Amino acid sequence: MKSPIRHPQQLLDAYQAGQESFSDLVLKAADLRGVYLPFINLESANLDHADLRHAILTGASLMRVRLQAARLDQINLIAADLIRANLHQACLKDALLSSANLCGADLSGANLQQAILAGANLNGANLRGADLTGANLSGASLFGTNLMGANLQDVPLDEAKMSYTIMPDGYCLVGENKIDDDPNKASVSIANISAYSRLAKHFRND
């Protein structure tokens, strides 16, 4: 019977010995800076407050992983599976998330400044209050994504795929990125309506 993993070095030793699955692992506040763990299985693991800066987890299976308030600056999560992951208030500054699956993930309050999310699946993800300043969302899918209160400064959205997306001001792009003018929703300025309408026209012309 394998002894439970309680320290980061035990995880690294087991991985180097050929073990790839560590589902339900608990290593809260662990120091995992710069680790090389491609294709590791950490499904439902609890890594809240862990430090994974500069770590390489390409293609990792991280479904339902807990990474609340974790330090993930410059982490490599290209093509990783993060379905329903809890990344509330995590720092993902300059993170590589191209082609990652973040469907249904909780990224509320997360720092995604300059993050690369090209081609990522953010369908149904919660990015309420997240900071996406300068992030790359080229080709990303944002169907049903909650961007309420998110900072989208310097984030071009003309190449993102959006439908039923809740925008930072509370309005929702529905159908072919048309504005939902439900009066019960938060108010939006005429300038924003115009901007969203131009965006919708761009998508209809593609």
Q: What pLDDT does 175 receive?
A: 54
Q: Is 201 exposed, middle or buried (0-12, 13-18, 19+ CB in 10 A)?
A: exposed
Q: What pLDDT does 134 receive?
A: 97
CA dihedral (117, 118, 120, 124) positive or negative: positive
In the numeric block, which tokens belong to residue 39?
């294709």
DSSP3 helix / strand / coil % (the chain, rounded to 5): 10, 20, 70
Q: What pLDDT does 196 receive?
A: 46
Pairwise CA distance, residues 80 & 114, whole Å = 18
Residues forming a β-bridge with 121: 101, 141
CATH code: domain 32-206 is 2.160.20.80
Q: What pLDDT does 4 receive?
A: 85
Contact 38, 16 (CB under 8 A): no
pLDDT tens, per residue, the chain with 206 residues: 467 899 999 999 999 999 999 999 999 999 999 999 999 999 999 999 999 999 999 999 999 999 999 999 999 999 999 999 999 999 999 999 999 999 999 999 999 999 999 999 999 999 999 999 999 999 999 999 999 999 999 998 888 999 999 999 998 887 544 444 443 333 333 344 344 444 444 444 44
Cα angle, residue 4 at apex, residues 83 and 31 outer, rounded to 5°: 65
Q: Is 49 exposed, middle or buried (0-12, 13-18, 19+ CB in 10 A)?
A: middle
Single-letter amino acid code for the residue at 104: G
Q: What pLDDT does 111 receive?
A: 98
Sequence ranges of the domains in the chain: 32-206
Q: What pLDDT does 179 receive?
A: 41
Contact 107, 86 (CB under 8 A): no
Q: What pLDDT does 16 receive?
A: 96
Q: What pLDDT does 2 receive?
A: 65
